Structure 1
Amino acid sequence: MAEVPIPKISEIATGVRDMLPIALAAATYGVAFGLLASQSGFSMVQSLSMSAFVFGGSAQLIALDQLMTGAGVAAAVLAGAALNMRILLITASMRGALINRPRWQIATGVYLATDASIALMQAAKTRGALASYWYLFGGGAFLLLVWIFATCAGALLSKGISNPASIGMDFAIIAVFVALLPGLWRGRSDLLPWGVAACSVVTFALMFPSYASWGLIVGAVLGALTAGVTHGD
């Protein structure tokens, strides 16, 4: 008896369902970004545009930091792009879901690729589930919508909060990222690239304390390069 294929809508719905816990955590991250961006002088349109087109929490924050320190637009774009080099590895690990797809679907899949996407896919593989294209699309699209709405909420909240740090919103960004780490861990093969990234950040911060934020970029680049060399998948 031939196996009945799963309808795409079911795969999308499953992706949305499985992304829900991560999306709720990322919403806190998004609210924090919207609040901090608004406090830094961004308009609502600018904050929402950045979340919609960049769609990268850490990259958005590092770019925002560069803009607020007067480094200029070019430096902000360079910083965000360098930090997001890890996305190249994420899309490489998603090639099984993207292969033989139309170009528009590949472009959409790459656009929706985030740390949360790879965490979702790893969790699905651990359960023995099929991480199909539409499954990843459902989860990624849902996360994007949550991220944009959370940014909007943060920007609106900024009008009533004069100091985000006073209620721990700055720490919320770190907390959410740390919460995502277990889902990104793939085993001992990650020890070297993670170690290289961590050591690079710490070393840079100690050597150049006035430019500590650039240490994140250096760590991301060196960690991504190390992973690219050592990982065959």
Structure 2
Amino acid sequence: MVKAIFFDVLGTIVDWNRGLSGGFDRAFAKSGKDIAANSLATAWYRTYRARLASSAGAIQAQEHLAESLAQVLADADLEAPAGSREQELLLACWQRFPAWPDSVPGLRALRREYVIASCTDLPTAPMTWLAKHAGLPWDLVLGSDLLDGRTHDGSLFLKAAATLDLLPSEVMYASAHNADLAAARAVGLKTAFFARPKEFGPDQRNDLAPRDSWDIVAFDLLDLARYMESAVY
């Protein structure tokens, strides 16, 4: 029986695209340049996540953020020098992403019966400040730096379950990303999918539907809470 539900956060619980796009608009509002905020947001997100995936050992979140931002801006012929107002504004966005409208009420509903925790490849500090800003009612923030594991090989899920003295079969992983769920299922976790079709803006092509027969396929987080109230897993 499921006793805890772990969650992906970026894209699943919070709208990083809106947060970053708004940050680029604010940072370059006085520059007079016509910027493609959504494209910059997507490029930064993907570049940052690629750097995380290739990191060895402890993850230095701010270093990766600053380096990936510099790369994306250089590619777009824009500048935000180290220590500048523009850079500080953009880096701060990662701790201030807005939650999707259903996220907080859905998490609160699930928390009545289950331990709920964020469980992602990102470090504990930014995930904690992000939760504080967005009002995410986690019981735990399980960061990759503390658990020394990754989602792609399932090691993070197993170590997170062990932290709560749970078997993998007693944990469900919820994500809007099929690849996350495949990794979680491979190490014995239950799985729940709901789509976030606007995560990458109007041109999203991936993760619009489940790619496998996940244990639960819901419409959104509130719908997932309704499933969990009426079913035994």
Q: TM (normalized to structure 2)?
A: 0.27
Which structure is higher in strand share?
A: 2
Which structure is higher in helix share?
A: 1
Q: TM (normalized to structure 1)?
A: 0.27
- Indicate the structure whose relative CO is greater, using CA pairs within 8 Å and at least 6 residues apart: 1
